[in-house]
Amino acid sequence: MWTLLIVLLVLWLGLSVLGFVVKGLLWLAVLGIVLFLVTLVFGLFRKGRTDA
């Protein structure tokens, strides 16, 4: 589970950096940031729960 979250966070971070670097792809940067934050919040909520 943690591996998947880390891979997704790195992927979203890469998309947002690519969006900022390439002119005209600001929408990609915004999408990357939103997906990064959603994945981070999901990971924090999953960490708080105990799977019994």
Determine contact, residues 38/4, Cβ cutoff 8 Å: no
Residues in the chain: 52
Burial class (CB in 10 A: 0-12, 13-18, 19+), 21: exposed
What H or E segment, with its residue span, contains residue 50? none
Number of domains comprising the chain? 1
- List the chain pLDDT tens, one digit each, 52 residues: 778 888 988 998 888 888 888 877 888 888 888 998 999 898 888 776 665 4
Structural domain that includes position 24: 2-48
Tokens for 36, please give them: 């990064």
Quick check: 7 and 26 in contact, CB under 8 A? Answer: no
Both tokens assigned to 49: 């729960």
- Tokens describing residue 14: 């890469």
